[in-house]
Amino acid sequence: MKLKKLNSVTNGLRHQLNLPKYELSKNNRFLRSTIKGFFYSYGRSFSKGFLTMYHRGGGVKNLFRKLEFSNNGYNAIVVSNLYDPCRKAFVSLNFDLEKNFFFRTLAPNAISPGLLVSCHYGIEDLKLGYRTQIKRVPTGSIVSNLSTSEKKIGQYARAAGTFGQIIQSDLTTAKVRLPSNKVITISVNAFVNIGLISNTQSSSVVVGKAGRNRLVGRRPIVRGIAMNPVDHPHGGKTNGGRPSVTPWGLPTKSGFSLKKRKNR
């Protein structure tokens, strides 16, 4: 999907690069009835109201779409591809041909309505969007929505345009390279999706103005030195006397890490 550059009618549109959504379907009345709950970016805990994330708040209330990340077997047909305001990747609406109900999953790249998708243990014919165990997938394949075991849901490579690659596999374990280039060892019974996640051009979108960031709940980022001493260790307009630390006092330079290295 090619990015669209807008005419510079206003200053906010001058450098914008938007993602055209002509390939996506709009929510009709039936689909709206299947959306439950709402998502609101507070940046605070719902129980006590403490700050849990800096520079978050406001934004537009979004309806939450429940997605199917489990490994329950299904044989379904893709009805349409939809936009999800709570994530960067697109969502595909599927209809289960055996159980006769609709459900949503993460849309693989280049998937279109009318294609068949399946999730089973013993899939032999691998196609785009199929979900099966790693031991059924050839080494070197591009996979996504990766789980760590047979009974866990997909945890890795779920963002827009991300994917993992199976680099080694044996009888019990497999090594998979994650989008961060980290290599993990997991069971060959873990489930993966064939193909990469949709919306590969997501990182190339240019917002163009601060108002679009405010609509998704992102507030301006304030430097620690511009705060008061009660709010940040760098606060109080004092440039010297302390190395760079996080708001909780942990060093941010010299490769500091709380994770202990294993002696090999």
Q: Where are the alpha helices (DSSP H) in the chain?
A: 29-33, 210-215
Residue 83 has pLDDT above 80, yes or no: yes
Q: What is the mean pLDDT of the chain?
A: 87
pLDDT digits (tens, 9 = 90+) for 108-153: 998 989 999 999 888 878 889 899 999 999 999 999 999 988 889 9
> CB neighbours of 58 closer than 8 A, spacing ≥ 6?
41, 214, 217, 219
Quote the pLDDT of residue 42. Answer: 78
Confidence of residue 198 (pLDDT cuts 50, 70, 90): very high
pLDDT digits (tens, 9 = 90+) for 29-56: 667 666 776 767 778 887 888 888 889 9
Six-digit token pair at 249?
């006092």
Bridge partners of residue 82, in order along the sequence: 91
pTM over 0.85: no
